[in-house]
């Protein structure tokens, strides 16, 4: 395909309720959209970076710079076969995976349209629908959190994940378990602890958590292996898994027993498929992680989750879990079984981009042609 024009659109969409993690309290989704024009078609990719480098080293500013000055020039007015060839062209770039993934995702979307197939079919997905879990932020008090848990359990969410940070962890979790002894419960520390906290994690073994997500730093895969040997609860790595190589190393030294895949964090769908295949071989269960994405990213996550070894509930909530308005038609919504139907060629499930909604949310636009 020939690439004719690339726009980078910055949008802001307010959250209906603030979402607090150990690293920041989000009040809006500040995101970049990459819009690639090719031979009369348009493919969008959503960049999953945030306004600041808080979750990983990239942010919207660095992504805008990388896309504009390094990625777009590799494509503009050139022929390219698709996302696989794009990944070969960007192999010289170190890191900057969120930026690379946003363009890679847009190229998958163009490939999908050109071939008249679903993303599920293109990547070899096998599931018709996928189960959804909810990720709940840190709240000022336990009663507010308990009310939220109740609300999402009533909606049928298959797994309840609670964000924790030092000082807001074991006491909160014990209280949740007192009210809900049997629910599938997990925690996400977003890298906010160290091995000095090992006794705290040992104490969590009594809480029957399905997993503890990313307790230690992004680069601490050795310390994660030490921690995993000291506790019974499985560790699920998020931030630490940035490539198939880092997944291989983490599995080899026993840093985790579960992995959450975000196609953005690992540089795209091509790399996500490699991680999927590796983890399938090693029997490491997988689920698709979320970044409070807008609809474009959310829809691509649903298709990724259709791969056979994504066996655990995903952080791909209904759009209304975060937003009053979104950028797809229809907006992503759950079934009465709290699942998401994976779009394919036969089931009539199809999402269009809501250009008018994007225009309402737009704060800037860079055009390259
Ligand atoms: O660590 O999984 C995470 C949100 C922003 C950044 C990192 C994470 C999260 C979530 C929310 O947990 C998942 C979602 O519903 O999108
Ligand atoms: Mg996480």
Domains along the sequence of the chain with CATH: 5-116+354-368 (3.30.390.10), 121-352 (3.20.20.120)
DSSP category for residue 76: B
Give the model confidence (pLDDT) of 249-281 as tens digits. 999 999 999 999 999 999 999 999 999 999 999
Does ligand 1 come within 6 angstroms of the Cβ of 188? yes
Q: What does the alpha-carbon distance between residue 364 and residue 155 come to, in Å, rounded to a whole number?
A: 36
246 by DSSP, 3-state: which? helix
* pLDDT digit string, tens, across residues 290-335: 999 999 999 999 999 999 999 999 999 999 999 999 999 999 999 9
Whose alpha carbon is nearest atom 12 of ligand 1? 135
Please state the separation of Cα 27 from the chain's center in Å.
18
**Prior bond of 330 cis (ω within 30°):** yes
Q: What is the pLDDT of residues 142-197, one digit of tens each?
A: 999 999 999 999 999 999 999 999 999 999 999 999 999 999 999 999 999 999 99
| 75 closest CA partner among 106, 119, 51 | 106
Residue 362: per-residue pLDDT = 98
What's the pLDDT at 5? 98
The encoded tokens of residue 266 equal 């690992």
Can you give the pLDDT at residue 242?
98
Task: Give yes or no for a contact between 288 and 342, defined as CB atoms under 8 angstroms apart.
Answer: no
Mean pLDDT across 111-125:
97
Mutate which of 30, 55, 135, 300 for ligand 1 pocket (most atoms within 8 A of beta carbon): 135
Mean pLDDT of the chain: 97
- Which residues have C-beta within 8 Å of that of residue 240, sequence separation ≥ 6? 214, 217, 218, 219, 220, 221, 224, 246, 250, 255, 256
Q: Which residues surround ligand 2, an ion (CB under 5 A)?
A: 188, 213, 238
Q: Give the DSSP H/E element, type plus range, for residue 245.
A: helix 244-253
pLDDT of residue 258: 98
pLDDT at 91: 97
- Give the tokens for residue 349: 């499930």
Phi-psi region of 283 (alpha: psi -120 to 50; beta: other; left: phi over 0): left
The residue behind tokens 């959804």 is 132
Pairing outcome for strands 362-368 and 5-20: antiparallel
* pLDDT tier, 204 (very low <50, low <70, confident <90, very high otherwise): very high
The torsion region of residue 38 among left (phi > 0), alpha (psi -120 to 50) and beta comes to: beta
Which pLDDT score is estimated for 238?
Answer: 98
Instruction: Indicate the top mutation candidate among 16, 18, 21 to test ligand 1's pocket, ranked by most ligand atoms within 8 A of CB.
Output: 21
Q: Are 266 and 243 in contact (CB under 8 A)?
A: yes
Q: Which pLDDT score is estimated for 199?
A: 98
Strands 211-213 vs 185-188: parallel, antiparallel or unpaired: parallel
Ligand index nearest the alpha carbon of residue 320 = 1
CB 358 within 8 A of CB 327: yes
Ligand 1 site, residue 135, Cβ cutoff 6 A: yes
Residue 302 φ then ψ, to 5°: -60, -45
**Distance between CA atoms of residues 67 and 73, nearest Å:** 9
User: How far, in Å, CA of 294 to CA of 361, rounded?
Assistant: 11
Which residues lie below 8 Å from residue 94, measured CB to CB, with a gap of 6+? none
Rg (CA), the chain: 20
């Amino acid at each position: 395909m020939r690439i004719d024009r690339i726009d980078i659109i910055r949008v802001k969409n307010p959250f209906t309720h603030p979402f607090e993690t150990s690293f920041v309290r989000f009040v809006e989704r500040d995101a970049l959209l990459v819009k690639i024009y090719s031979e009369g078609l348009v493919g969008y990719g959503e960049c999953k970076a945030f306004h600041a480098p808080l979750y990983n080293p990239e942010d919207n500013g660095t992504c805008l710079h990388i896309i504009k000055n390094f990625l777009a020039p590799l494509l503009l007015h050139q022929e390219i076969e698709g996302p696989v060839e794009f990944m070969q062209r960007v192999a010289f770039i170190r890191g900057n995976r969120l930026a690379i993934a946003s363009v890679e995702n847009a190229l998958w979307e163009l490939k999908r349209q050109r071939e008249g197939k679903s993303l599920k079919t293109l990547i070899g997905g096998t599931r018709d629908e996928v189960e959804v879990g909810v990720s709940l932020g840190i709240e000022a008090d336990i009663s507010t959190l308990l009310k939220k848990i109740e609300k999402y359990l009533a909606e049928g969410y298959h797994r309840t994940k609670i964000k924790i940070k030092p000082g807001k962890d074991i006491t909160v979790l014990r209280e949740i378990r007192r009210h809900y002894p049997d629910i599938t419960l997990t925690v996400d520390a977003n890298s906010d602890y160290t091995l000095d906290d090992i006794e705290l994690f040992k104490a969590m073994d009594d809480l029957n958590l399905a997993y503890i997500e990313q307790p230690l730093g992004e680069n601490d895969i050795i310390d994660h292996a030490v921690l995993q040997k000291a506790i019974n609860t499985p560790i699920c790595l998020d931030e630490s898994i940035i490539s198939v190589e880092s997944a291989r190393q983490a599995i080899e030294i026993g840093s985790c027993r579960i992995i959450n895949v975000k196609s953005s964090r690992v540089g795209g769908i091509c790399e996500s498929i490699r991680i999927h295949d590796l983890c399938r071989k090693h029997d490491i269960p997988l689920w698709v992680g979320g970044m409070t994405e807008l609809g474009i990213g959310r829809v691509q996550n649903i298709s990724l989750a259709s791969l056979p070894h994504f066996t655990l509930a995903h952080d791909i909530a209904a759009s209304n879990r975060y937003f009053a308005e979104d950028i797809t038609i229809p907006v992503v919504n759950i079934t009465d079984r709290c699942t998401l139907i994976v779009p394919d060629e036969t089931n009539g499930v199809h999402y269009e981009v809501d250009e008018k909604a994007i225009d309402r949310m737009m704060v800037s636009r860079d055009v390259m042609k």
